[in-house]
Structure formats: structure tokens, C-alpha cells
Homo-oligomer: A and B are copies of this chain.
Amino acid sequence: MGMVGGGRGAFIGGVHRMAAALDSQIELVCGAFSSDPERSRLSGEDFYLPADRVYGSYAEMIEKEQLLPEGERMDFVSIVTPNHLHYGPAKMALEHGFHVVCDKPLCFSMEEAEELVALVEETGLIFALTHNYTGYPMVKQARAMIKAGELGAIRKVVVEYPQGWLSTKLEDTEQKQAGWRTDPSRSGIAGAMGDIGTHAENLAEYITGLEITELCADLTAFVPGRQLDDDGNVLLRFSNGAKGVLHASQICAGEENDLNIRVYGTKGGFHWRQMEPNTLTVKWLDKPVEVRRTGVGELYPEATAHTRIPAGHPEGYLEAFANIYRNFAHCVRARLAGEAPDPLMLDYPGVKDGLRGMKFIQKVVASNNSKEKWIKI
């Protein structure tokens, strides 16, 4: 693995490194960790990399690695930069024959997104997008239950993503994360909706297997002087006639990272909450509520395949994140070996999920600016 971004002071880069390391299937071999070459060099030292595999830019990394003999050069690129810096390295990596893991959202604009989709199709390379919340075992279980028809026809979806960390004008401090996320030139046309709303959208579509077809959005920048939305409420309509609500916010003072989803069908419903991710509360029309738990009892193979340790030993955010890396690595390894991958390991978010997320952002912003009630997606 060669990493783009994620040097000293960054947040998500460290998460990617831990997620990649957990299963001892992936080795960090090189990186361009910062646009500042000195910072990149120091970061490389932190990771015990040889100096000649620490590059000053992603372009240099991709070019030089390509010249290394097979087996020695990196097998794939992991992109962990802010949104506006996804497209460049992703495109170049694909064009130079490297598989890609990319943080979400996919990129900055619809045009970029469509170009990346086309490039992945052309090259046939493997592309994973880290919509990590779908990596949890009980999310897999929830999706499998719906797919198997256990809940009947889906009628209602409520997906929420409240955070509170941007309740004040944190971007006026040195806080790097707040800085780029509230800056349209680095984050794109949406704030909270791009940063976390897309996770909610992705989770809802992943779990239900449905597509959002229409939406009606009300976005707000509550903190005075902020340019991008820090709160949004959206009515949803799904492909099968189900209705829903999505709300995401970064000004829900006191909330941590409370992504959660409820889905109701004709036979039952469930609730899953990221902050207690090993529990899936299933409610039935005609039986008692069941508490399904990671590793406990008969679960779908999709859940079991993404569980590492026995029941009651809580698996967390990093393990879910690592599931994307593990599945991606499995598929890359199978490709290198010319073997068919385990079908259960084909389950990771890809470039089309990224495109879908970009569309969601675009339509939510359009709806917010419109007097019409419904915008098609």
C-alpha cells in the first residue's frame, strides 16, 4: 500500500493505517503523506519507511513506484486527503495501473465522479470507497435480513446522523478538520450533507437495497458566518414506494457521532446505532422484540464473515473500517493470483457508491434552493 495524505496532524490517515494493518494482510510500503515534502519525510520516519519510498508528491510516488519491479512496488494506492484532492491521485493511479482505496466522498464534482467511474470500468481495476459504516457485522446482518424478506416490503426508513462538534465556529481556530470541512473550495457545495449526510444516504441504500428517487431538503448554516450547511433535514421517497426521513447535523450540541437507522417493513422493523454497533434491535409485528448481537447465535454468513472475535467482545469502528481493507486486499490478492475471490469478500463500497453519493449531494443542495417540493434523484 502507498498512501496519499495522512501525514502528521491528519486524522483519517491514521484510521486507514490501523484498518489496513489490523489483519496483517497489508503493508504500508510507501507514501506521499503531505503536500509539504518535509512533513511527508517526517511522517515516513514515523512509519519506519525507508527514505527512498517517501515521496514529495503523489505524482512522484505513482511514477517512481511504477518503475519498481513487480512484487516490490506498491500494489495499490490509498487516498486519504480532503475531498478536493481525491480526484487527482485517483485518476493518475488508475491510469498507471494501480488499484485504489479512496476516502469518501468520492470527489469534488459530478464531472469528476463520472470520469472516475468511467476510468474504473475501462481499466478493470479494483476501487474501494471507504463508506466504512457499512463494514459493521450487524449492518451486514440487517441488509441480509431485508434481502431475505424477513421484514416484508419496506415502508419506512429513518436515518439520522447527528453530531455536535461544529456547534461553534471551530473553523476559526486551528482545528484542521473543521477548517477544510467548512470551506467550499476544499469540501465542495455541501458541508454536513457532504461530510456525513452521504454516509447516511449510503447506509440507507445499502441496508435496504432500495434507491432514493425523490427528496425534499431543508439545509441550514446555523453558525453565523459559516458558508456551508451544518444541518439538514430531508424527506425521502424510495424506488419501491417507501417513505423516509434523513437528517444530519453538526450543530446538535452534545452529540458525538450518532449515525443510526430504523427500517420498517410489513412484517417488522429494526434499529441499528453506530455508537453501539454490535446490537441490532429487531421488532416484529407478532413476536417479541429480538436483540441480535455480533457473534451470537445464527446470523447470516454476510455478518459472520465480517466478525473477528467471539460474542461479547465488542468490535468497533476500526474493525468495521478494516473490513473494507480486508475485503479489498482479498480481491486484489485474488486478482494477482488469478483466482476467483470469495463472494462474501466482494462486499465493499465502490466507485458507483461514490457517484451515487455525489448525486445525493447535488440534489440535496438543489432541493434546498428550490421552491418545488420534490426533486428527482
Contacts and interface: CB of A to CB of B under 8 A. Distances in A.
A309 B288 CA distance: 18
A373 to B, nearest CB: 5
Contacts of A315: 316-318
Given A243-B231, A288-B291, A274 B314 contact: yes
Interface in A22-37: 22-24, 28
Interface in A267-302: 267-269, 274-278, 281-293, 295-297
Given A247-B245, A314-B275, A373-B216, A268 B296 contact: no
Interface in A214-269: 216, 218, 220, 222, 231, 233, 235, 237, 243-245, 247, 249, 251-258, 262, 264-269
B285 A269 contact: no
A131 to B, nearest CB: 14
Given A164-B283, A371-B373, A216 B235 contact: yes
B155 A312 contact: no
A283 B28 CA distance: 40
A287 B315 CA distance: 21
A365 to B, nearest CB: 15
Which 7 residue pairs of A and B lie closest in terms of their CB atoms, listed nearest first? Answer: A254-B283, A257-B312, A256-B312, A316-B316, A289-B291, A313-B317, A314-B316
